A = this chain, B = another copy of it.
Amino acid sequence: MGDLKQWVDDIHRELSARSDKGRVADYIPQLAKVPAGKLGIAVATIDGETVTAGDADESFSIQSISKLFTLTLALRRLGGKLWTRVDREPSGNAFNSIVQLEHEQGRPRNPFVNAGAIAVTDVILDEHSPKDAPEEILRFVRYLANDDDIHIDDAVAKSEAAHGDRNMALAHFIKSYGVIHHEPTDVLGVYFQQCAIAMTCRQLAHSGLFLARQGVHPRGKYVVSADRARRINSLMLTCGHYDGAGDFAFRVGLPGKSGVGGGILAIVPSKAVIAVWSPGLDTNGNSLLGTAALEMLSKRTGWSVFS
């Protein structure tokens, strides 16, 4: 652990000094105003230790990382039947592309592109009303992170809704193929709120521990089966970074899920969970310094699943 703390601090120091911090997402004002200079790192090991550096205790908008939590919820509900609605292949396209949907009869390529995540959220509405569903998702995330101080940022959710035409297009499009069963307005109402959940790196790292622990929550209960945890990890690796998944695997070598708010959650199976946050993005919409931090840490620890 001593080494790990040292490495994390070194990486934080080295990256903080970089001048190119990427470009903060500006499609909604709430994200645009976050300072590009923020950088947080948190590592939670399966032994129960947590080391952090920088802004690891500052909340940020988890955005697409929330897709991982709703996917887990939907799999708990539907099991393997979920895959009749959503495929599990990398898309080779931008996260919000509609082209592939038309060529593939409305079936989203995977649960992490927007269309796929919308289809996943639709499953949650089978059991919960549009009003209750965001609370249910929030309850689940708090349980996973073992921390009740996690909230939805309403201003972000509203702003997403106000700029939501592209996602509305995706939702109506897949509904025209029968892929979702509820009203697009309702599904996106939930979707925009799940994306607006705000968490710290520390909370995020804890929330992913079940994926590093063969599906078992740190407090002992199965969140999902060991098989399912393994498969969720595989989906994160092949599809977790949109059209930059190959590059992330190449450089970092860990299952991960990024969000446009600048966060990335990475799983080290049987070892640890890493959460990083830096709001400047690369051209694929993934955190520039966050990815760099993971690449450096993966190299120093030898944690890549490929070595």
Within 8 A of B (CB), among A162-215: 165-166, 168-173, 175-176, 184, 214
Residue-by-residue, is A71-104 near B (CB-CB < 8 Å gives 1, otherwise 0)?
Answer: 0000000000000000111111100011111110
Q: A235-B250, A270-B307, A305-B306 are in contact. Are A89 and B168 (CB under 8 A)?
A: no
B residues in contact with A306, CB < 8 Å: 230-231, 233-234, 237, 255, 269, 305
- A160 lies within 8 A of chain B by Cβ: no
- Which of these binds chain B: A4-12, A120-128, A240-248, A275-283? A240-248
Question: Is B97 within 8 A of A102, CB to CB?
Answer: yes
User: Considering the chains assembled together, what is the distance between the CA atoms of A88 and B249 in angstroms?
Assistant: 10
The minimal Cβ–Cβ distance linking A3 to chain B, given in whole angstroms, is: 19
Question: Is A238 within 8 A of B246, CB to CB?
Answer: yes
The minimal Cβ–Cβ distance linking A231 to chain B, given in whole angstroms, is: 5
Residue-by-residue, is A243-276 near B (CB-CB < 8 Å gives 1, otherwise 0)?
Answer: 1111101100101000000000000011000000
- A229 lies within 8 A of chain B by Cβ: yes
Interface positions of A (Cβ within 8 A of B):
87-93, 97-103, 109-110, 165-166, 168-173, 175-176, 184, 214, 226-227, 229-231, 233-235, 237-239, 243-247, 249-250, 253, 255, 269-270, 299, 304-307
Question: Is B246 within 8 A of A98, CB to CB?
Answer: no
User: Considering the chains assembled together, what is the distance between the CA atoms of A255 and B90 in angstroms?
Assistant: 15
User: Considering the chains assembled together, what is the distance between the CA atoms of A109 and B93 in angstroms?
Assistant: 11
B residues in contact with A171, CB < 8 Å: 169
Question: Is B165 within 8 A of A175, CB to CB?
Answer: yes
User: Considering the chains assembled together, what is the distance between the CA atoms of A269 and B97 in angstroms?
Assistant: 35
Q: A88-B250, A230-B253, A305-B305 are in contact. Are A172 and B176 (CB under 8 A)?
A: no
